[in-house]
Amino acid sequence: MKVIQELIGYFERKGRLTPEDIERFINVGLIAADAPGNMVALCNQIGKTYYFRVHGEERGNVWGTDIYTGDSALPAAAVHAGAVGLGESAVVKVTVVEPLSQYRGCTRNGISSQSYGQYRTAYRVDPVGGENKRDAARLQG
């Protein structure tokens, strides 16, 4: 499963897969694993992409807006980012990104994130397929 996810992530980064291709992979169970609590152990390669089944929760600490520290609670960060609704389940795309020197917090989608200084790892959460809740979340944050 891990090798398949890595290959799909590689081809997606190269622009060789469409959103419909990604949806098909998800629907047949090839790429979405259950979400970890946070991304600390997985944030070791900038640009690496993961697909996770996540259930949107409000508990857990979140630091940042759009880009989150690696130790931010993934289920809460996914809600904050607008990738999944609170209490809903969905597949999300998590991308490891270059850490920021400063993370700005705000309240969005019922989740309050905190500001934080430099942290060694970071990630971004995006919705997969369907309605893009992220645009609505940006208007609120």
For residue 131, the enclosing domain spans: 2-140
Say whether 27 sits in a helix, a strand or coil: helix
The pLDDT, as a whole number, for residue 1 is 57
List pLDDT tens digits, range 49-81.
Answer: 888 999 999 999 999 999 999 999 999 999 999
**What is the C-alpha separation between 141 and 133, in angstroms, rounded?**
13
CATH number for 31: 2.170.130.20
Bridge-based pairing state of the strands 32-34 and 111-112:
unpaired
The pLDDT, as a whole number, for residue 128 is 86
Number of structural domains (the chain) is 1
The DSSP secondary-structure symbol of 60 reads: S
Q: Which of 77, 70, 63, 66 is nearest to 117 (CA)?
A: 63
Residue in this structure with the two tokens 């997606």, named with its chain if needed: 12
> pLDDT 10s digit of each residue in the chain, 141 long?
567 777 877 887 788 888 788 777 776 666 777 888 899 999 989 998 888 999 999 999 999 999 999 999 999 999 999 999 999 999 999 999 999 999 999 999 999 999 999 999 999 999 986 444 444 444 344
Q: For 107-124, b where at least 16 C-beta lie within 10 A, e where not — what string?
A: ebbebebeebeebebbbb
The pLDDT, as a whole number, for residue 2 is 65
Say whether 4 sits in a helix, a strand or coil: helix
The pLDDT, as a whole number, for residue 121 is 97
